[in-house]
């Protein structure tokens, strides 16, 4: 069968918001076809379908929502993760 899934991730080396990168990717059959990266600030397509969707998403409200996710999703969870990890080390 075919498998479509999305992944939210936060890459960081510190708990400072400007050091965190938020990445939101769409995959189809293990192939990433579109990605939003907070360091780029927009969607980027990697396949023909991904490029078309990136153009559409970058011209709509979705890109604004994804830009806010760095603070809403990453900063909140990074704080929880670092606090939890530091108390156990």
Find the helix packing angle between 61-69 and 48-58, rounded to 10°. Answer: 90
Q: Is the pLDDT of residue 81 over 90?
A: no
Domain at 20, CATH number: 3.10.320.10
- pLDDT, one tens digit per residue, over 24-55 is 999 999 999 999 999 999 999 999 999 999 99
Please enumerate in sequence order all residues whose Cβ is within 8 A of that of 69, keeping only pairs 6 or more positions apart, or say none.
Answer: 8, 22, 24, 38
Please enumerate in sequence order all residues whose Cβ is within 8 A of that of 36, keeping only pairs 6 or more positions apart, or say none.
Answer: 22, 23, 24, 25, 42, 43, 44, 57, 63, 66
Structural domains in the chain (count): 1
Label residue 1 by pLDDT band (50, 70, 90): low
Range of the domain at 56: 4-88
């Amino acid at each position: 069968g075919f498998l479509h899934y999305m992944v939210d991730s936060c890459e960081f080396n510190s708990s400072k918001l400007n050091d965190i990168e938020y990445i939101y990717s769409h995959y189809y059959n293990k192939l990433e076809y579109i990605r939003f990266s907070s360091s780029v600030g927009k969607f980027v397509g990697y396949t023909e379908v991904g490029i078309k969707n990136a153009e559409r998403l970058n011209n709509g409200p979705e890109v604004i929502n994804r830009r806010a996710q760095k603070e809403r999703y990453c900063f909140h969870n990074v704080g929880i993760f670092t606090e939890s990890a530091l108390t156990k080390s």
